[in-house]
Chains A and B, each alone.
Chain A
Amino acid sequence: MSSFTFTINGKSTTVTAEADTPLLWVVREHLKLTGTKFGCGAGLCGACTVHLDGKAVRSCQTQVSEVKGRKVTTIEGLSANADHPLQKAWVAEQVPQCGYCQSGQIMQAAELLAKNKNPSREEIVTHMDGNICRCGTYPQIIAAIQTAAKG
């Protein structure tokens, strides 16, 4: 066991864990930020997507030792009052069904909008294709990203 200090949602935190513990479990079960979801444990579904220094990563494929001294943002820290344009658009378009994948979808989409203010449909699909939604909310996700991009 070792200690790792990093910033999560703007606050410094220190956790004690094995160095190769997936960031996913540190976030969800050590820090109790359960908005980040476990889906596949293999980087195949995107449910666990968080931002590491602003870049979307799969937290199930990121070891806690890799985030030492870095900035992690989860769905809980994406905006102050759930008012990120994507979160508002997600409500306006009534995107979620079961909702389990949606934290990951929003975090993945937030990375896209941060670097591309006005993505085409094709760019959206390419960027989002690693995030599975078993309920099949894809058309609504695309609509919500387009709504958020329009501002």
Chain B
Amino acid sequence: MTKHFEKLALTRRGFVVGTGATAIAVMFGTASGTGEAEAAASQTIGTWIKIGDDGIVTLISPVSEMGQGTKTAVPLMLAEDLDADWSKVRVVQAGASNKLYGNPKFNHQQQTVGSYSVTGYYLTMRLAGAQARQVLLANAAETLKVPVAELTTEPGMVVHAKSKRKIGYGEIAKTAKVPDPLPQVTKADLKPASQFRLIGKDTPRVDVPSKVNGTAEYGMDVQLPGMLYGSIRYPEVQHEKVLTVDDSEAKKVPGVVKIVTLPVGVGVIANTVEGAMRAKEALKVTWSKTAPGQTYTQDRVLADYRTIAADWSKPGITMVKKGDADAALKGAAKVLTAEYYSEHVSHVCMEPLNATAWVQGDKVQVWSGNQAPAVMQILASIAAGTKPDNVTVNTMLLGGGFGRRSDGDDVMHATMLAKAADGHPVKLIWNRSDDMMNDKFRPLTVQRLEIGLDAKGDIVGWRHRIVNETYLGRVLPPPVFKAIGMHDVVSGGGGEMNYAVGNHRVEWARAARGVDVGAWRGIAAGYTKFAIETLIDELAANKKMDPLQYRLSLLKDDPRSAAVVQAVADMAKWTEKRPDGRALGLAYSDALNSHTAAVVEVSVDDKTGAIKVHHVWAAVDAGMAVQPKNIEAQMRGAMTFGLGAALREQIHIENGVVQERNFDTYQVMRMSDVPEMTVKVISNANEPTGIGEAGVPVVAPAIANAVAKLTGKRLRHLPMTPDRVKQALG
């Protein structure tokens, strides 16, 4: 327990619930103040729950809200077992602290990544709520002079049915004392599902009203007294350095305050945003030509990766090892081999990256929409040359994250500018071109799968080799990366599968070629499931089995997976004949610990090669559905993301220069592109699992499988653009 927790635990008005590494501080307080005051209190004393004497319950959201709905879902789980009156709950964004707010299932890091929020905080929130409720009950028992066993709760109040007396949480808070010893709770004390008032009831999201009237505050919206604007001219090829700067024209732009050479480019500080952006364009800069990315052209890299993929003697990291796949393949009657390619794709969050920093002496404040506040704290401290404890992070709403807003390059660069801004806060805004050329793309990936079959066509061994650049190797300190065995689940993961395969070997080979890559919604499963699920269809064809029946046979020992696959087949009426020129394709994914299956109905334009998706059906089992309609919305959104990556989105890099710089050349899904989507959420008593990304991986393989059924041609290169389809059709 940390020092301030000890102090808090000793006061009569505050106590700490939860056990182990996650301690939840609770305070009884006076009337609730503004959100800012609550946030400040949370940062200084770590208060997670505040029960005000006005009955307002203020809860911390430890996670970042980027549209996935966790600013509602995570506090809601606590409110359920506290039996709080949701109409009196206020949610406040947490400050930066792994210690106070770290995700119990994500190594206690305060990161909103990997679809870990609801699943990671689930038990902690519910137990904390239950324990805090016990404290309220104990106090009410004393006030009402009745045994605690006779008391129950209604939302926001304790009820003594026998005497028909009620006492509100606010009333209790006025005089509440912390009982000694503190009541303890276990899982058995959690509210049974039959009594849920919030979980599973589709509570409206707390952030939605502000998002329809212009008051929602994203990083981009920060306004501070004396604030200046920043813009940075970046090299065309990542990681090149500034050699010479001619700023004579840039200095003439009205509003320019200062031009400063930074380690990452040339910074402009101006008193208007338009001045900063114009001056940036007017700079004449020469750059070094030594970065490894100079030779990066993706066709060349892809050819190179293919060689590495085929050669198992080349070094790699073991990601999955079950049985002896190598021996099984040697003894196989037949080996089916296939290679899969996936191009770089870009995050293109609607809100281009930006951050505001204010350096005052050795103190730094930053404002940013980010997925990892404690990482921002460290990066800003490095940029400002101060200690992380001197940095305050204000996490704003994120205008899209999708994995891009964990890196913190925006925060670091804004802090570099602010350090040169003589005590003024600086808001750094990237334009769309900055955002795309400096993106941390989903890695360009080559995969090779070799499946050993016996005489009956049954799988005896499965080898899967994934070749790409590392994400974790770039963002983790080298000793930390080494300590996890260089097991990069973001770039090289996703090879695991629930199918019954005895001899299974997955290896990831890192092949650095000078372009930064990142975590992109769905991470590795976004391409590994494309390979696995289309190959499963080929194996079914080889065995002359229906792809649905084949999957069910491989999932016979995994009832939850099988149920999801069967459910989506039923939804889509899998066995019913389709109109001429259309076919169905199926795919299943166990990524993010959730069970997801999709069926798509497609047609192909023979002349143009364009694939049209007419309908998508999806079923998902992510355990207990905390916010079922939000899960549906996440599925639709993630599948739309998946459609883009399946059909259209790709970044071209020529000699290190990113070619796509805006939505004209980098085309994402628009309203007219989106097919009808039918989603079924299967809820059960299992602990909730990841949902923000679960819809991505199934889309591309389902489409490829449908195209194969329709045309007999297997597509193995993402995205499946009209050109590639035409080429495949011959």
Most A Cβ at <10 Å: residue of B272, B348, B402? B272
Residue of B nearest to A76 (CB): B214
Give B398 Cβ to nearest chain A Cβ, in Å. 6
Beta-carbon contacts of B205-238 to A below 8 Å, as 1s and 0s? Answer: 1011111111111101101000001000000000
User: Which of A22, A32, A40: most chain B Cβ within 10 A?
Assistant: A40
From residue B256, how far is it (CB to closest CB) to chain A in Å? 12
Q: Which residues of B contact A133 (CB under 8 A)?
A: 350, 671
Contact of B670 among A25, A38, A129 (CB under 8 A): A129
Find out whether the CB atom of B213 lies under 8 angstroms from the CB atom of A37: no
User: Which parts of A24-67 form the interface with B (CB within 8 Å)?
Assistant: 25, 28-30, 32-42, 44-45, 47
**Binary per-residue interface labels of chain B (340-359) against chain A in the complex, 1 for a CB within 8 Å, 0 otherwise:** 00000000111110000000
Is A112 part of the binding interface, using a Cβ–Cβ cutoff of 8 Å? no
- Complex CA gap A25/B69 in Å reads 29
Q: How far is the CA of A117 from the CA of B223 in the complex (A)?
A: 38
B677 within 8 A of A: yes
Contact at A38–B429, with CB atoms within 8 Å? yes
Could you tell me which residues of chain B, from 632 to 678, have a CB within 8 Å of some CB in chain A? 633-634, 636-641, 662-664, 668-672, 674, 677
Is A72 in contact with chain B by the CB < 8 A criterion?
Answer: no
| A138 and B223 form a contact (CB under 8 A) | no
Contact with A38, one of B66, B352, B401 (Cβ below 8 angstroms):
B352
Complex: chain A residue closest to B433, CB-CB: A41
Known: A44-B664, A137-B633. Is A97-B431 also a contact (CB below 8 A)? no
With A17-B274, A132-B670 known to touch, is A34 a contact of B209 (CB < 8 Å)?
no
A136:B640 contact, CB within 8 angstroms? yes
Chain B positions within 8 Å of A87 at CB level: 212-213
Query: Which residues, 64 to 92 on A, are CB-close (under 8 Å) to B?
Result: 74-76, 82, 87, 90-91
Which of A35, A41, A129, A137 touches B214 (beta carbons < 8 Å)? Answer: A35
Q: B residues within 8 A CB of A99? A: 67, 207-208, 210-211, 216, 397, 399
Q: Are B350 and A134 in contact (CB under 8 A)?
A: yes
A137 cross-chain contacts in B, Cβ below 8 A: 633, 636-637
Q: Which residues of A contact B662 (CB under 8 A)?
A: 40-42, 44
Most chain B beta-carbon contacts within 10 A, residue among A35, A37, A136, A138: A136
Inter-chain contact A35/B215, CB cutoff 8 Å: yes
Which of B205, B254, B274 is A22 in contact with, Cβ under 8 Å?
B274
Is B629's CB within 8 Å of the partner chain A? yes
Task: Give the docked Cα–Cα distance between A100 and B32 (Å).
Answer: 29
* C-alpha gap A35/B397 in the complex (Å): 13
Q: Which residue of A lies closest to B218 (CB)?
A: A100
B641 touches A136 (CB 8 A): yes
A141 at interface by CB-CB < 8 Å: yes
In the bound complex, residues from chain B placing their C-beta under 8 Å from that of A138 are 640, 669-671, 674
B663 close to A44 (CB less than 8 A): yes
Question: How far apart sit A1 and B432, CA to CA, in the bound complex (Å)?
Answer: 26
Q: For residue A8, which residues in chain B have a CB less than 8 angstroms away from its CB?
A: none
Q: How far is the CA of A34 from the CA of B668 in the complex (A)?
A: 25
Return chain B residues, CB-CB under 8 Å to A102. 211-212
Contacting pair A75 B213 (CB below 8 A) = yes
How many angstroms from the CA of A142 to the CA of B348 in the assembled complex?
23
CA distance A91 to B208 in the complex (A): 6
B35 contacts partner chain A, Cβ-Cβ < 8 Å:
no
Chain B residues closer than 8 Å to A106, beta-carbon distance:
212
Is the interface on chain B under 10, 10 to 19, 20 to 34, or 35 or more residues? Answer: 35 or more
Residue interface mask B174-215, A partner, CB < 8 A = 1: 000000000000000000000000000000110111111111
Q: Is the interface of B mostly helix, strand, loop or mixed?
A: loop
Among B80-103, those with CB < 8 Å from A are: none
Q: CB of B603 within 8 A of chain A?
A: no
Pair B214/A36 contact, Cβ less than 8 Å: yes
Complex contact A134–B348 (CB within 8 A): yes
CB-CB < 8 A to A39: which residues of B? Answer: 350-352, 432
Establish whether residues A94 and B205, one from each chain, have CB atoms under 8 Å apart when the complex forms: yes
**Inter-chain contacts of A17 with B (CB < 8 A):** 272, 274
- CB <8 Å contact, B205 and A136: no
User: Is A146 located at the chain interface by the 8 A CB criterion?
Assistant: no
Instruction: Judge whether B400 and A135 touch: CB under 8 Å.
Output: yes
Whether the Cβ atoms of A29 and B273 lie closer than 8 Å is: yes
On chain A, the residues within 8 Å of B211 by CB distance are 90, 96, 99, 102
Residues of chain B within 8 A of A126, CB atoms compared: 672
A98-B351, A134-B668, A142-B671 known; A37 and B220 CB under 8 Å?
yes
**Complex formed: what's the CA distance from A41 to B672 in Å?**
22
Q: How far is the CB of B83 from chain A (nearest CB, A)?
A: 24
B274-A91 in contact (CB<8A): no
A17-B272, A35-B215 known; A94+B204 contact, CB < 8 A = yes
Q: What residues on A are CB-neighbors of B402 within 8 Å?
A: 134
- Asked if A135 and B432 sit within 8 Å, CB to CB, the answer is no
In the bound complex, how far is the Cα of B429 from the Cα of A24, in angstroms?
14
Whether, in the assembled complex, B503 has its beta carbon less than 8 Å from a beta carbon of chain A, the answer is: no
Whether B213 lies near A29 (C-beta < 8 A) is: no
- Which residues of chain A are within 8 angstroms of B641 by Cβ–Cβ distance? 134, 136
Find the A residue at minimum CB distance from B349. Answer: A134
Of chain A, the residue at the smallest CB distance from B635 is A136
> Are A136 and B638 interface neighbours, CB within 8 A?
yes
A64 to chain B minimum Cβ distance, whole angstroms, is 9
A65 to chain B, nearest CB (A): 13
List, in ascending order, chain B residues with CB within 8 A of A100's CB. Answer: 218, 349-351, 399-400
Residues of A within 8 A of B209 (CB): 82, 91
- In the complex the two chains form, what is the Cα distance from A44 to B207 in whole Å? 26
Quick check: A132 and B229 within 8 Å, CB to CB?
no
B630 within 8 A of partner (CB): yes
**Interchain CB contact (< 8 A) of A45 among B208, B229, B398, B663:** B663
- Residues in chain A near residue B131, CB distance under 8 A: none
Contacts of A45 in B (CB 8 A): 350, 663
The residue of chain B having its C-beta at the shortest distance from the C-beta of A77 within the complex is B214
- Please name all residues of chain A whose beta carbon is closer than 8 Å to the beta carbon of B207 when the two chains form the complex: 96, 99
Q: Give B405 Cβ to nearest chain A Cβ, in Å.
A: 11
Residue with the highest number of chain B CB atoms closer than 10 Å, among A21, A98, A102, A142: A98
Q: Is the CB of B636 within 8 A of A139?
A: yes
* Known A-B contacts A29-B229, A136-B641, A142-B671; A98 and B633 likewise in contact (beta carbons under 8 Å): no
9 contacts between A and B (CB under 8 A): A35-B215, A35-B216, A76-B213, A94-B633, A95-B208, A98-B351, A98-B401, A99-B216, A102-B211
Q: A41-B431, A139-B674 are in contact. List 14 more A-B contacts (CB 8 A).
A: A32-B223, A37-B220, A91-B204, A95-B212, A97-B68, A97-B637, A98-B399, A98-B401, A99-B207, A103-B214, A132-B350, A134-B349, A136-B639, A138-B669
Top 5 closest pairs, chain A to chain B, by CB = A35-B214, A136-B640, A100-B399, A97-B67, A99-B211
